Protein backbone atom coordinates (compact mmCIF):
# COMPACT_ATOMS: atom_id res chain seq x y z
CA UNK A 1 0.00 0.00 0.00
CA UNK A 2 1.26 3.47 -0.88
CA UNK A 3 1.36 6.29 1.66
CA UNK A 4 -0.78 8.48 -0.62
CA UNK A 5 -3.23 5.95 -2.02
CA UNK A 6 -6.47 7.63 -3.14
CA UNK A 7 -5.14 11.15 -2.71
CA UNK A 8 -4.90 13.87 -5.36
CA UNK A 9 -2.00 16.29 -5.01
CA UNK A 10 -1.04 19.41 -6.98
CA UNK A 11 2.70 20.13 -7.11
CA UNK A 12 3.76 23.51 -8.53
CA UNK A 13 7.10 24.03 -10.22
CA UNK A 14 7.06 20.30 -10.83
CA UNK A 15 8.69 20.20 -14.28
CA UNK A 16 12.17 19.85 -12.78
CA UNK A 17 14.22 20.01 -9.57
CA UNK A 18 12.60 19.31 -6.21
CA UNK A 19 9.07 19.52 -7.62
CA UNK A 20 9.87 16.84 -10.19
CA UNK A 21 11.14 14.49 -7.50
CA UNK A 22 8.06 15.20 -5.38
CA UNK A 23 5.79 14.39 -8.32
CA UNK A 24 7.68 11.15 -9.01
CA UNK A 25 7.68 10.02 -5.37
CA UNK A 26 4.02 10.91 -4.81
CA UNK A 27 3.02 8.86 -7.87
CA UNK A 28 5.09 5.93 -6.57
CA UNK A 29 3.20 6.25 -3.29
CA UNK A 30 -0.17 5.99 -5.03
CA UNK A 31 -1.28 9.62 -5.45
CA UNK A 32 -2.84 11.11 -8.53
CA UNK A 33 -0.54 14.04 -9.26
CA UNK A 34 -1.10 17.34 -11.03
CA UNK A 35 2.22 18.60 -12.41
CA UNK A 36 1.94 22.40 -12.65
CA UNK A 37 4.62 24.62 -14.17
CA UNK A 38 5.43 27.21 -16.82
CA UNK A 39 7.95 24.87 -18.48
CA UNK A 40 5.38 23.15 -20.67
CA UNK A 41 7.66 20.81 -22.62
CA UNK A 42 9.43 19.41 -19.56
CA UNK A 43 6.25 19.31 -17.51
CA UNK A 44 4.27 17.49 -20.19
CA UNK A 45 7.06 14.95 -20.73
CA UNK A 46 7.27 14.22 -17.01
CA UNK A 47 3.50 13.92 -16.63
CA UNK A 48 3.36 11.50 -19.56
CA UNK A 49 6.20 9.40 -18.13
CA UNK A 50 4.74 9.05 -14.63
CA UNK A 51 1.03 9.02 -15.52
CA UNK A 52 0.12 12.43 -14.13
CA UNK A 53 -1.86 15.42 -15.40
CA UNK A 54 0.13 18.43 -16.66
CA UNK A 55 -1.33 21.92 -16.34
CA UNK A 56 0.30 25.17 -17.42
CA UNK A 57 0.27 27.37 -14.30
CA UNK A 58 2.00 30.65 -13.63
CA UNK A 59 1.58 30.67 -9.85
CA UNK A 60 1.52 34.47 -9.71
CA UNK A 61 -1.78 34.69 -11.59
CA UNK A 62 -5.31 34.29 -10.23
CA UNK A 63 -6.72 33.01 -13.53
CA UNK A 64 -3.93 30.42 -13.77
CA UNK A 65 -4.86 29.02 -10.36
CA UNK A 66 -8.58 28.97 -11.19
CA UNK A 67 -7.88 27.00 -14.38
CA UNK A 68 -5.48 24.60 -12.64
CA UNK A 69 -7.95 23.79 -9.88
CA UNK A 70 -10.73 23.30 -12.43
CA UNK A 71 -8.53 20.96 -14.47
CA UNK A 72 -7.52 18.95 -11.39
CA UNK A 73 -11.12 18.59 -10.24
CA UNK A 74 -12.29 17.68 -13.74
CA UNK A 75 -9.63 14.97 -14.04
CA UNK A 76 -9.73 13.46 -10.55
CA UNK A 77 -12.89 14.75 -8.82
CA UNK A 78 -11.14 16.03 -5.69
CA UNK A 79 -8.00 17.67 -4.30
CA UNK A 80 -6.32 16.43 -1.11
CA UNK A 81 -2.91 18.01 -1.24
CA UNK A 82 -0.98 21.02 -2.48
CA UNK A 83 2.77 21.49 -2.59
CA UNK A 84 3.62 25.12 -3.27
CA UNK A 85 7.09 24.45 -4.63
CA UNK A 86 7.52 26.90 -7.54
CA UNK A 87 10.11 29.56 -6.84
CA UNK A 88 12.74 31.81 -8.35
CA UNK A 89 16.02 33.21 -7.04
CA UNK A 90 17.84 36.45 -7.92
CA UNK A 91 21.26 37.51 -6.63
CA UNK A 92 21.74 41.16 -5.76
CA UNK A 93 22.77 43.39 -2.87
CA UNK A 94 19.72 45.09 -1.36
CA UNK A 95 20.94 48.55 -2.30
CA UNK A 96 21.40 47.46 -5.92
CA UNK A 97 18.08 45.65 -6.32
CA UNK A 98 15.70 47.28 -8.82
CA UNK A 99 12.09 47.42 -7.62
CA UNK A 100 11.05 45.45 -10.71
CA UNK A 101 13.33 42.57 -9.72
CA UNK A 102 12.08 42.67 -6.11
CA UNK A 103 8.45 42.54 -7.25
CA UNK A 104 9.15 39.73 -9.73
CA UNK A 105 10.44 37.50 -6.94
CA UNK A 106 7.55 38.52 -4.64
CA UNK A 107 5.06 37.68 -7.40
CA UNK A 108 6.27 34.11 -7.80
CA UNK A 109 7.49 33.09 -4.33
CA UNK A 110 5.09 34.99 -2.08
CA UNK A 111 2.00 35.85 -4.13
CA UNK A 112 2.21 32.39 -5.73
CA UNK A 113 2.07 30.70 -2.33
CA UNK A 114 -0.75 32.98 -1.15
CA UNK A 115 -2.86 32.48 -4.28
CA UNK A 116 -2.25 28.74 -4.18
CA UNK A 117 -3.59 28.39 -0.67
CA UNK A 118 -6.42 30.86 -1.26
CA UNK A 119 -7.62 29.08 -4.39
CA UNK A 120 -7.03 25.46 -3.45
CA UNK A 121 -8.01 25.35 0.25
CA UNK A 122 -11.73 26.03 -0.31
CA UNK A 123 -11.82 23.20 -2.89
CA UNK A 124 -9.72 20.82 -0.82
CA UNK A 125 -11.20 17.85 1.00
CA UNK A 126 -11.25 18.12 4.80
CA UNK A 127 -8.14 16.47 6.21
CA UNK A 128 -6.01 17.69 3.31
CA UNK A 129 -2.43 18.91 3.43
CA UNK A 130 -0.52 21.95 2.22
CA UNK A 131 3.27 22.04 2.06
CA UNK A 132 4.88 25.40 1.32
CA UNK A 133 8.47 25.46 0.14
CA UNK A 134 10.32 28.13 2.07
CA UNK A 135 14.10 27.98 2.58
CA UNK A 136 16.83 28.24 5.18
CA UNK A 137 16.69 31.91 4.28
CA UNK A 138 13.21 31.99 5.85
CA UNK A 139 14.95 31.56 9.21
CA UNK A 140 18.22 33.40 8.81
CA UNK A 141 19.75 36.12 6.71
CA UNK A 142 21.97 35.49 3.69
CA UNK A 143 23.83 38.25 1.93
CA UNK A 144 23.03 38.81 -1.77
CA UNK A 145 19.62 37.12 -1.68
CA UNK A 146 17.62 39.72 0.25
CA UNK A 147 14.56 39.67 -2.00
CA UNK A 148 14.44 35.89 -1.94
CA UNK A 149 14.92 35.79 1.85
CA UNK A 150 12.13 38.34 2.35
CA UNK A 151 9.69 36.22 0.34
CA UNK A 152 10.69 33.03 2.11
CA UNK A 153 10.17 34.67 5.53
CA UNK A 154 6.74 35.66 4.23
CA UNK A 155 6.02 32.07 3.18
CA UNK A 156 6.59 30.98 6.78
CA UNK A 157 4.21 33.65 8.06
CA UNK A 158 1.56 32.56 5.58
CA UNK A 159 2.11 28.93 6.60
CA UNK A 160 1.50 29.62 10.27
CA UNK A 161 -1.61 31.73 9.65
CA UNK A 162 -3.07 29.19 7.22
CA UNK A 163 -2.41 26.38 9.73
CA UNK A 164 -4.44 28.22 12.35
CA UNK A 165 -7.28 29.15 10.00
CA UNK A 166 -7.61 25.74 8.33
CA UNK A 167 -7.18 23.53 11.40
CA UNK A 168 -10.95 23.39 11.98
CA UNK A 169 -11.18 21.45 8.69
CA UNK A 170 -8.19 19.30 9.73
CA UNK A 171 -6.20 20.75 6.85
CA UNK A 172 -2.56 20.74 7.94
CA UNK A 173 -0.14 23.36 6.63
CA UNK A 174 3.63 23.07 7.03
CA UNK A 175 6.76 24.51 5.45
CA UNK A 176 9.95 22.98 4.14
CA UNK A 177 13.16 24.97 4.63
CA UNK A 178 15.91 23.48 2.46
CA UNK A 179 19.53 24.54 2.60
CA UNK A 180 21.49 24.11 -0.61
CA UNK A 181 19.94 21.49 -2.89
CA UNK A 182 21.42 20.29 -6.17
CA UNK A 183 18.90 21.56 -8.74
CA UNK A 184 19.04 23.98 -11.70
CA UNK A 185 18.33 26.82 -9.24
CA UNK A 186 21.59 26.27 -7.39
CA UNK A 187 23.74 25.44 -10.43
CA UNK A 188 26.37 28.06 -11.14
CA UNK A 189 26.91 26.51 -14.58
CA UNK A 190 23.58 25.86 -16.31
CA UNK A 191 25.33 23.45 -18.70
CA UNK A 192 26.52 21.26 -15.85
CA UNK A 193 24.45 18.19 -15.06
CA UNK A 194 24.00 16.98 -11.51
CA UNK A 195 27.48 15.45 -11.43
CA UNK A 196 29.14 18.62 -12.67
CA UNK A 197 27.26 20.67 -10.14
CA UNK A 198 28.17 18.44 -7.30
CA UNK A 199 31.83 18.68 -8.24
CA UNK A 200 31.71 22.48 -8.51
CA UNK A 201 29.94 22.92 -5.19
CA UNK A 202 31.66 20.11 -3.32
CA UNK A 203 34.49 22.24 -1.96
CA UNK A 204 32.15 25.01 -0.85
CA UNK A 205 29.70 22.74 0.93
CA UNK A 206 32.40 20.60 2.51
CA UNK A 207 33.42 23.76 4.34
CA UNK A 208 29.96 25.25 5.01
CA UNK A 209 27.70 22.29 5.71
CA UNK A 210 28.38 19.96 8.65
CA UNK A 211 27.32 16.91 6.62
CA UNK A 212 29.81 18.05 3.98
CA UNK A 213 27.70 18.00 0.84
CA UNK A 214 24.86 19.63 -1.07
CA UNK A 215 21.41 18.12 -0.59
CA UNK A 216 19.64 16.01 -3.20
CA UNK A 217 16.16 16.88 -4.47
CA UNK A 218 15.07 13.30 -3.71
CA UNK A 219 15.84 13.95 -0.03
CA UNK A 220 13.59 17.03 0.00
CA UNK A 221 10.87 15.00 -1.75
CA UNK A 222 10.90 12.49 1.11
CA UNK A 223 10.26 15.32 3.59
CA UNK A 224 7.40 16.61 1.41
CA UNK A 225 5.98 13.07 1.39
CA UNK A 226 6.16 12.89 5.19
CA UNK A 227 4.27 16.19 5.51
CA UNK A 228 1.69 15.16 2.87
CA UNK A 229 1.02 11.71 4.33
CA UNK A 230 -0.61 10.49 7.53
CA UNK A 231 2.86 9.97 9.03
CA UNK A 232 2.70 13.64 10.07
CA UNK A 233 -0.94 13.53 11.22
CA UNK A 234 -0.39 15.65 14.39
CA UNK A 235 1.92 18.26 12.85
CA UNK A 236 0.79 21.62 11.53
CA UNK A 237 2.07 25.19 11.28
CA UNK A 238 5.74 24.24 11.46
CA UNK A 239 8.90 24.91 9.46
CA UNK A 240 11.07 21.84 8.73
CA UNK A 241 14.74 22.54 8.08
CA UNK A 242 16.53 20.13 5.73
CA UNK A 243 20.06 21.49 5.34
CA UNK A 244 22.73 18.98 6.35
CA UNK A 245 23.19 20.90 9.59
CA UNK A 246 23.96 24.26 7.99
CA UNK A 247 21.77 26.21 10.45
CA UNK A 248 22.95 24.28 13.50
CA UNK A 249 25.64 26.86 14.20
CA UNK A 250 29.16 27.84 13.31
CA UNK A 251 32.38 25.90 13.77
CA UNK A 252 35.31 27.93 15.08
CA UNK A 253 38.07 25.31 15.21
Which residues are identified as catalytic? 148
The angle, 0 to 180 degrees and rounded to 10, between the axes of the packed helices 112-120 and 146-166 is: 20
Binding of residue 58 to ligand NAD (CB under 6 A):
yes
Binding of residue 236 to ligand NAD (CB under 6 A):
no
Cβ 6 to ligand NAD, closest distance in Å?
26
Binding of residue 17 to ligand NAD (CB under 6 A):
yes
Choose, by CB under 6 A, the member of 38, 125, 192, 247 that binds ligand NAD: 38
Cβ 232 to ligand NAD, closest distance in Å?
19
Binding of residue 229 to ligand NAD (CB under 6 A):
no
Contact 168, 162 (CB under 8 A): no
Nearer to ligand NAD, 17 or 81 (CB): 17
Binding residues for ligand NAD, rule CB under 6 A, total: 28
Q: Going by C-beta distance under 8 Å and a sequence separation of 6 or more, which residues neighbour residue 92?
A: 101, 144, 146, 147
Contact 19, 37 (CB under 8 A): yes
Identify which range of 13-21, 120-128, 165-173, 222-230 contacts ligand NAD by CB under 6 A: 13-21
Contact 48, 22 (CB under 8 A): no
Cβ 126 to ligand NAD, closest distance in Å?
27
- Starting at the edge strand found earlier in the chain, the sheet holding 172-178 runs 53-56, 32-37, 8-12, 81-84, 129-133, 172-178, 239-242
Binding of residue 86 to ligand NAD (CB under 6 A):
yes
Choose, by CB under 6 A, the member of 133, 159, 228, 236 that binds ligand NAD: 133
Q: Going by C-beta distance under 8 Å and a sequence separation of 6 or more, which residues neighbour residue 53?
A: 32, 33, 34, 35, 47, 71, 72, 75, 76
Binding of residue 197 to ligand NAD (CB under 6 A):
no
Choose, by CB under 6 A, the member of 8, 10, 13, 34 that binds ligand NAD: 13
Choose, by CB under 6 A, the member of 45, 125, 139, 185 that binds ligand NAD: 185
CA distances (Å), 231 to each of 12, 59, 212, 225, in order? 22, 28, 29, 9
Choose, by CB under 6 A, the member of 116, 128, 146, 178 that binds ligand NAD: 178
Nearer to ligand NAD, 184 or 196 (CB): 184
Binding site for ligand NAD (CB under 6 A): 12-13, 15-19, 37-39, 57-60, 85-88, 108, 133, 135, 178, 180-181, 183-186
Amino acid sequence: MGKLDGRVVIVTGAARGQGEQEARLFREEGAEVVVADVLDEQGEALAKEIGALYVHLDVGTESGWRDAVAAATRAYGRIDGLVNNAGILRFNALVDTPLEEFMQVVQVNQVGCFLGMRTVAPEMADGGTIVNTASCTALTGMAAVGTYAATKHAVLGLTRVAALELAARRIRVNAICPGAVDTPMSRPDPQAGPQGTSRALDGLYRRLVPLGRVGRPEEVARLALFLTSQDSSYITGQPFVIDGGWLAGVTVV
